Amino acid sequence: MDFDIKNVDLAPGGRHRIEWAEQEMAVLRGIRETFGSERPFAGVRVGATMHVTTETANLMVALQAGGADVVLSASNPLSTQDDVAAALVSYYEIPVYAIKGEDTPTYHKHINAVLDHKPHIIMDDGADLVSTLHKSRREVMGNVIGGTEETTTGIVRLRAMAADGALEFPMMAVNDAMTKHLFDNRYGTGQSTMDGIIRATNFLIAGRTVVVGGYGWCSRGIAMRAKGLGANVIVTEIDPLKALEAVMDGFRVMPMMKAAVEGDIFVTATGDISVVDRHHIEVMKDGAVVANSGHFDVEINKVALRELSVDEPKRVRPFVEQFTLKTGKKINLLGEGRLINLAAAEGHPAAVMDMSFAGQAMAAKYLLDNKGKLENRVYTVPAEVDQQIASIKLASMGIQIDTLTEQQVKYLNSWEEGT
């Protein structure tokens, strides 16, 4: 079996951690059991480019239980858990192409290795796999039934492709499911981002000013958790509605240029470029920390940071590069400006990835069930899937809810009743 990972000897530790995560993934476990008896993916090749974590491992194992022939590469050069990659290769016989800290050519070589497998189903996180396939590996296109996309950034790219008429197979926007973005983006990103910042710096958050770039689902999770840790939180936005929500949620809102002067820690999660730009860096406090939790490492202008510095940054802790500016000020960049929650911590906890990856598994099955019937555009996950995932998750947490009485159903369906 071909693969490219850091070290197979890391496999035993990886297996323990995969099994640990599995205990938290009740919805995915149920799906794996159903897939195991129904084998819907028999003869189907799945090519995935996703963060290689214990949670992703459980998704791959569920697909494999359903009969799929699975291959996996990393969706970010810094997010791979090398012990998990080793365990997938050694114990589950899943070819993995991912090494934490791989350079950009290796990252792309690994994506191409997934495409060499001629997948029928694509699983993407950030749309690099889909985009590589369309741009330079078109000979693989004929095999593809469709794909699933995990993240907001990927869906933005896919919708742009669809609008251009460039998308050549249907894609399921898993991120747009309620059971994904309301939970994974908010509670997952919120907790894991603060976890990453704390693991990287060992800073006390209480009493510090944390500037959060954006107020989408990810950023609001970060703002909420930073506040919970005692930070004074400032939010920056470009959308008046989101800015208003941030204000009414109790946060200070101001332009980044003003926040830049006040912040101790900056975190971006907007999906756009240069949210922390040269002119912001120039006015930051000595010792300021800048981190990103958005999908790509474009949100902090790293080129400007380098240009403003006297020489190469000093690596002062494993995920902290300290830049000394020509003015003498020091600015600390975390995790090379890449997803800090996956670079310095372990990504979102399994209990929340359970719902996201249940959505992935069910979306992949939906593509198979509807083979040949879908158009080449971006589809949302059916609402029943959301209801089903939420119900199973609640049951796994031992939480019961009410059901409508007949009288209530009748009331909701009538238009005659009123004052």
- Which residues are near ligand ADE by CB under 6 A? 50-51, 53, 55-56, 188, 342, 347-348, 353
Instruction: Kindly state the smallest distance separating residue 52's Cβ from ligand ADE, in Å.
Output: 8
Q: How far apart are CA 27 and CA 362, in angstroms?
A: 11
At residue 386, φ and ψ (nearest 5 deg) are -60, -45
Reference 147, options 382, 363, 385, 389; nearest CA is: 363
Name the residue with the smallest CB distance to ligand ADE. 347
Instruction: Kindly state the smallest distance separating residue 285's Cβ from ligand ADE, in Å.
Output: 30
DSSP state of 352: H
Residue 185's Cα: distance from chain center in Å? 8
Instruction: Kindly state the smallest distance separating residue 181's Cβ from ligand ADE, in Å.
Output: 12
228: Cβ contacts below 8 Å, ≥ 6 apart: none
Nearer to ligand ADE, 56 or 132 (CB): 56
Residues 84, 61 contacting (CB under 8 angstroms): no
Amino acid at 208: R
Residues 349, 191 contacting (CB under 8 angstroms): yes
Q: Which two tokens stand for residue 223?
A: 């703002």
Instruction: Kindly state the smallest distance separating residue 328's Cβ from ligand ADE, in Å.
Output: 37
Nearer to ligand ADE, 124 or 237 (CB): 124
Instruction: Kindly state the smallest distance separating residue 309's Cβ from ligand ADE, in Å.
Output: 30
Nearer to ligand ADE, 82 or 264 (CB): 82
Tokens 């991120």 appear where? 175
Nearer to ligand ADE, 150 or 264 (CB): 150
Instruction: Kindly state the smallest distance separating residue 276's Cβ from ligand ADE, in Å.
Output: 21
Q: Which two tokens stand for residue 24?
A: 């938290």
Nearer to ligand ADE, 17 or 51 (CB): 51
Residues 138, 115 contacting (CB under 8 angstroms): no
Nearer to ligand ADE, 115 or 342 (CB): 342
